[in-house]
Structures are given as C-alpha cells and as structure tokens.
Structure 1
C-alpha cells in the first residue's frame, strides 16, 4: 500500500511505501486533491525514486518551491532518457543536483551571464558517452526554451551524468578533472611545449590519467614493470623524470600511494607528445 505523506505540488508527492519506506512519486495530476494519509495508486505514477538521505529529501522539497512544475517535468524526462540510454538506474541525487544546476544556469544565461568551463575538452575526452548525452540535452533545451546555451554547459551536465552513473560524489569527480588539467599543464611547462588538444596522443594521455587516478583511489594497482622501467629511464630520462614529478603530485593530492609501475605508462604517454616537437 502507498499512502500520501506530503503533497509537494500537483505532480509530485512524498509517499509512504511498505518496501522502500519514503519515496517520491511523480505523475501528471498525481497530487491534485490529495492530502496526508490518502491512498495513492502507484501505477498512476510515471516515475518514483527513493531519497533515503533526509538532507537530500529536504533539498528536493526546497527545489520545488522555486522551480516551476513544467521545468521539473522536463528534467524528469531528461533523466528518464539518460537511464534508457545507459540501461541502468541513476543515483537519485541527480534529481536534485542536475535540476538545480540547470535551473540556475539557464537563469544566468537569460540575464546575460556565462560561467566558463575550463575543463570542457578534458571532460569530453574522459567521458565521451556522458558528453554525447549532455550534448543532446543542451540541444533539446535550446529547442524547448528558444535560447542558446553555451557549449561549456555540456561539460558540467556530463559530469552530473557521470556522477549519477558511477555513484561518485560530484565534488570528487570535479577534483579529479582539475587534477588532470594540472598534470597536463605540468607537462607543458616542464617540456616547454604546447600540446595540441586535438591530437590523438593527448586523448590517450587524458584517459590514462583519469584511469590512473581511479586505480589509485580504489587501490587497484597495476603490475610492476621493473625491466621496462630501467630501459625507459635510460632512453627517455627527461620524460621519465617528469613522470615521477606527476606521480608525486597525484600522491599529494589524492593522499594515497601511486605505484611505481605508473612511471612506465606515464613516460610512454609523455614521450609520444614530446616527439611532436
């Protein structure tokens, strides 16, 4: 049995569920005329999700106080399409995080303000599927709202999608993206080069750095490569030394040990870029 706990608006209610405890139910007209304690037919709901964390539930309630129902409905459609595309359930926090982000982003854009995204290209390279989905969302918003959303927003949306897919906090993903950019800048500064961001070797480097950070964070280390490490140290001393500098920065920022084997793979990636000069 599902009973109404609180009506948030005509289309959204918080309900008591025998299996999930409290759930958020979404459906056109679902909350109309309902009051606390009323039974509600779950099959009439177009979507339901669980916000177990009391703070997240309160954030969603606060969200509905300033975001109009048509925007909430549009965002729920987008979230449904993301789940359909990736064939998986998303972390439910996306209902709060992405809706809040896009509502205020659109408000800023209409007021003539624009927040630059310095990590757009790195985000596209690291999470291409999420970036493609975010591009479709921006195109749909442009069409529905008759406006032009800056391309920088695509990267922000992609990070929200990746956060919901991976069940990782958005601030953690942002920190890792910033770390990758810092490491790339270190390579350019140390080698006195400007990396072509369209170069396939740059794509490989960025993806490798993200994978390295993920491995270090999860403790899933790679096998040692002692023989190859000695060869690279002799053949490419500049790139090998730089790889260790990058590893020290990663270790400092992540507060976790970076295995020696990473020096081999980083040296090879750096050398490919160094060969371009």
Structure 2
C-alpha cells in the first residue's frame, strides 16, 4: 500500500495494490514524507474506501482526536448494522461531533424534539448513538447532552439511504422542496435552508417518510395538546394539514393526528427562527 497524502500524523490518503484510493488509519502513518510505500500493513488499524474527495479538505480541518474517535464509531456501526453504509458517513459524523463540541463550549445546548420516536423506530442506531456519546466523553473528555444520542443515531439512519434507488432519493428531495415552498408561500417568508431548525425539520420529514414506507406512523393519543395547538396556531395547523395532504396524495398514505402535531411544532420553530434572525 502506498501513502500519497497526509491528513494528520495517524491518517493518510493511500492507494492499495489495485490502485484504489482509501483513507487509512495507523499510528504514525502520516508522519513520513509523502509519497512512500507502507510495507508493514499490520500498522494500519482501519481503512475506508469510496469517500467523496470533496470531504478531504474537511478532514484536514477537523482536530485529529475528533476524527479518530469518529472513525472508531463508524467502524462499530459497520459491525453492528447489517447493511452497506454511505462512505461519507465518516466525515459527516466527524464534522457533526466537532460542531457539537464547539456548540457546547460557546453556545447553549440545542436539543432535538421527540427523541423517543427515533429510539422506538431505530433501536440499533440509537444504541450506536449512545455508544458514540460515551466514547466522546471517554476519549475527548467532553460530556455531550443526551439529545446528541438521537442526533448521532440519525446519521446512521441516513447513511443507509445508499440502499435506496436514485429515483427514490430524487423523489424525496423534490417532495421536501415542495413542502418547503408551501410554508414559504403560506407565511410569506423565505426559509433559511442552512438554519438548524430547518435541517431538523428536513430530518423529521425524512424519517416520517420512512415511517410511512414501513407503515409505522405514530398513533398515540395527543388530543388535548393537539386541540390547544390547533386553537392557538390555526394558520400553522392549516399549513400542516395541507402538507399532510400533499404527502398522502403522493404516497397513498393517511397522516395521523400525531404526525400533524409534530409537523406543526417543527413549522412553528422554523417560522420563529426566521423572525428572530
């Protein structure tokens, strides 16, 4: 194996004997002048193939200890989940952990809504999220909030999207774009698509659509809370109902009162965020 570019002292971009490019982890493999031949393959602890080259620069910017911790978590996920994972899971997760730590140090904690639904639908991914939070505390001496278990679990859920067809992926993206435009038109606003609340809303939509596919919509009794929110936020309720109708028409489904309530909460957060921005 040939090391061709250093990422840090313990990580390098390499080429194997078949000339395939990969990211390799091993103590000190990034230290010698590049390029050079790695003769002792036992010195390599982990390898990752098919990562998008656009992420290479990001990997160089992430602190070495965070990148290496993320790699251990991804390796654990590969052994735990019985499916192919998107090769870009590693840089995405490393970037998320890096940002979460910065946020902990400089800003207030940002929690994700309704983490219990992720735990119910994706128990393996949630267990990996819990493992990740514990490993971050052990390796990096940072205690992330419990809500990060859900946030990290969703990285593993989304990483399995590689198994869906390109047509299905494009249909999902188009539906999310259509839903976003409905909100903008109804409330005469422009949504910040890079904002935290919008990204959380998109994440909610993704696993709502997955719940429809798996016939696992929520059917808990939320009558009292639903009634209060409907009365206090009639416009937001109408918007959620319209979005539900659009989804039902495209996917031949029937949205539940619970799902409308969750849509209302996310729409409210997006609008509040836009007003405060």
TM-score normalised by the chain length of structure 2: 0.60
- 1:183-236 CA distances to partner (integer Å, 9 max, x unpaired)? 869x85xxx4448xxxxxxxxxxxxxxxxxxxxxxxxxxxxxxxxxxxxxxxxx
Deviates more, 1:98-107 or 1:7-16: 7-16
Q: Match for residue 58 of structure 1?
A: 54
**1:8/1:110 Cα in 2 relative to 1: closer, same or farther (>3 Å)?**
same
Conserved? CA contact 1:20–1:50, under 8 Å: no
2:98 aligns to what? Answer: 103
Distance in 1 separating the partners of 2:137 and 2:21: 35
Change (3 A) 1:134 1:35: same
Alpha carbons of structure 1 residues 250 and 48: separation in structure 2 relative to 1, 3 Å: same
**Structure 1 pair 139/31, CA: closer, same or farther in 2 (3 Å)?**
closer
* 8 Å CA contact 2:65, 2:140 repeated in 1: no
Q: Tell me, yes or no, if the aligned pair for 2:22 and 2:48 is still in contact at 8 Å.
A: yes
Q: 1:133 to 1:4 in 2, by over 3 A?
A: closer
SS of the equivalent of 1:142 reads helix
Deviation of 1:20 after TM superposition, in Å, equals 5.7
Contact in 2 for aligned 1:3/1:16 (Cα 8 Å): yes
CA contact (8 A) 2:80 2:124 kept: no
Q: How does 1:169-248 map to 2 (within 5 A)?
A: 174-177=204-207, 188=222, 192-194=223-225, 248=245
Gaps (5+ residues) in structure 1? 196-243, 271-277
Asked if 1 retains the 8 angstrom alpha-carbon contact of 2:59 and 2:91, the reply is no
Deviation at 1:88, TM superposition (A): 5.2
Specify every segment of 5 or more residues in structure 2 that has no aligned partner in the other structure, as ranges. Answer: 174-198, 227-240, 260-277
Give the corresponding residue for 1:77.
Answer: 72
Matches within 5 A, 1:248-259: 248-251=245-248, 256-258=250-252
Please give the secondary structure, in 2, of the residue aligned with 1:80: helix
1:8 aligns with: 7
1:144 to 115, 135, 139: 139
Equivalent pair of 2:66/2:140 in contact (CA under 8 Å): no
Whether contact under 8 Å (2:6, 2:30) holds in the other structure is yes
Coordinate RMSD, CA, aligned: 3.7
Q: CA–CA distance in 2 between the matches of 1:140 and 1:44?
A: 23
Q: Is the 8 A contact 1:119 1:178 kept in 2?
A: no
SS in 1 for 2:145: coil
Shift of residue 84, structure 1, vs aligned partner: 2.3
8 Å Cα contact 2:103/2:109 also seen in 1: yes
Q: Kindly report which structure 2 residues correspond to 1:125-164, keeping only aligned pairs within 5 A, or say none.
A: 125-164=120-159
Structure 1 residues 174 and 247, CA, compared in 2 at 3 Å: closer, same or farther?
closer
**Contact map agreement 1:12 1:25 (CA 8 A) in 2:** yes
Residue 26 of structure 1 is matched in structure 2 by 25
Cα deviation, residue 115, structure 1: 1.6
Cα distance change, pair 19–251 in 1 and its aligned pair in 2 (3 A): farther
Whole-Å Cα distance in 2 between the matches of residues 149 and 49 of structure 1?
26
Distance 1:153 1:144 in 2: 16
SS at match of 1:115: coil
